[in-house]
Amino acid sequence: MDRDEAESQIIALFEQYTKVTPADEALLTALSDGKLYEMYVLSELVTNLTRRGCRLTFHGSSLKFKAGPGKIKISDPHFTVQTPAGLHLWLYVDIEFETLGQVKIGSTDLSSRHELDIVIVSPCGDYPSYTDIWLGVECKSTANFGKHLIKEVLGVRREMTLLDQSQPSLLSQAGLSPIVGIPSNPPSEFWLAFIDPAGQNYTRSPAAFGIELRLVEP
Amino acid sequence: MDNDDYRALIDILKGQLRAAGAGEIADDRHYLFPDPNDGEPRLMEPLKQLTQMLAAFERKLAMEDRQTFERALGRMNEVLRGERINGAEYIPARDGDREPRPIDLARAADLTQVREGVQHLIGRLQEIPLPPRRLG
């Protein structure tokens, strides 16, 4: 291959891409917001929970991914997760939770809630408290992984748990296997899902806070 | 091809990425590494930067590809009890008192051929013998 051939191929690939790209602005917004990636990560979680011994049921007709996060509404499409111990949990997407700081201080400004892309919570009303969360997932749909993503999830994780001695995660205590140890309280599990393999170079320090970095490639 | 050829191709690729609304991938800061001698950030070798930039573009395509939608739906329906999931929608933010129009994510384009083309090009570029390293 020479330079002219490579140049022609690059230009042809982008022409092909432009030709098939949908014209609908709203659809393009959804795709650039990473909603398809979020859906793929959701399928990874559903598969993972099944492998770990859960039974999942979907309530609704179609999945709904929102432009902005909101509260738990039983009428919104969601899953119920039955654990091996027989507990029933809820799995929702695009939910805000009440932060640890808010519960401690009682403040009600814009810092009192943070978003999680995917959550498993014990049945609760409106906005789950950080104590209701059994597992949270942040999906990072950026083609290039950067350290700023780690900083973001460290902040969210800080509002979910306090560092503590390692103990089985809430899901492990409900019979899921293998047992996952979490060095914080409450021992919720937390995934940072990403698509760029470069993210695998950032796993160790976040693990000290119970953050699991997961390469999820569609 | 030599490093000047690869740099010229990087410039062309950056132009195409920006025109396609993917200028973020073209940013050089994603292709820096710390120099083992003085810790200062340095750009990768041009061929490596070119192939990594193409790989990042392929990841962007994966996140917009209808195949990703179909695979995700298939994986979930395979393990669910009872009702199946029929599809997936995106709900834009409410604009004043107008109800948002749900967007069917199944309308994403099938990008299989473009993704295969990018992977093929990366493979071809990596087959080319590397230019001699400058010594000293």
Domain of residue A90 covers: 25-215
The total number of structural domains that make up chain B: 1
B30 in contact with A, Cβ within 8 Å:
yes
Is there a domain that residue A175 lies in?
Answer: yes
Q: What is the pLDDT of residue B112?
A: 95
Is there a domain that residue A1 lies in?
Answer: no
> What value of ipTM does the predicted structure carry?
0.93
Mean predicted lDDT score pLDDT of chain A:
95
What residues does B89 pair with on adjacent strands? A64, B104
Cα B68 from Cα A36, distance rounded (Å): 7
Is there a domain that residue B134 lies in?
Answer: no
Domain of residue B100 covers: 3-127
Q: Is it the case that residue B10 has pLDDT exceeding 90?
A: yes
The model's pTM is: 0.94
Q: Say if residue B34 is preceded by a cis peptide, omega within 30 of 0.
A: no
With cut-offs at 50, 70 and 90, classify the pLDDT of residue A162: very high
- Identify whether the C-beta of residue A46 lies closer than 8 Å to the C-beta of residue A79: yes
Is there a domain that residue A179 lies in?
Answer: yes
pLDDT in tens, B24-56: 999 999 999 988 888 899 999 999 999 999 999
A56 in contact with B, Cβ within 8 Å:
yes
The total number of structural domains that make up chain A: 1
Is there a domain that residue A209 lies in?
Answer: yes
Is there a domain that residue A17 lies in?
Answer: no
Nearest to B72 among A26, A40, A60 (CB): A40
Q: How far is A167 from chain B (nearest CA, A)?
A: 29
Cα B88 from Cα A38, distance rounded (Å): 11
Is there a domain that residue A94 lies in?
Answer: yes
Nearest to B93 among A18, A59, A68 (CB): A68
With cut-offs at 50, 70 and 90, classify the pLDDT of residue B99: confident
Is there a domain that residue B132 lies in?
Answer: no
Is there a domain that residue B136 lies in?
Answer: no
Q: Which residues of B touch A139 (CB under 8 A)?
A: none
Q: Which residues of B touch A7 (CB under 8 A)?
A: 8-9, 12
Q: What three-state secondary structure class fits B33?
A: strand
pLDDT average, residue stretch A162-175: 97
Nearest to B80 among A22, A33, A57 (CB): A57
User: What HEC string does A172-183 produce?
Assistant: HHCCCCCCCEEE
pLDDT in tens, A116-158: 999 999 999 899 999 999 999 999 999 999 999 999 999 999 9
Tell me which range, A25-34, B36-45, B104-113, is most confidently predicted by mean pLDDT.
Answer: B104-113
Is there a domain that residue B133 lies in?
Answer: no
Is there a domain that residue B59 lies in?
Answer: yes
Is there a domain that residue B12 lies in?
Answer: yes
Q: Which residues of B touch A10 (CB under 8 A)?
A: 9, 12-13, 16, 121
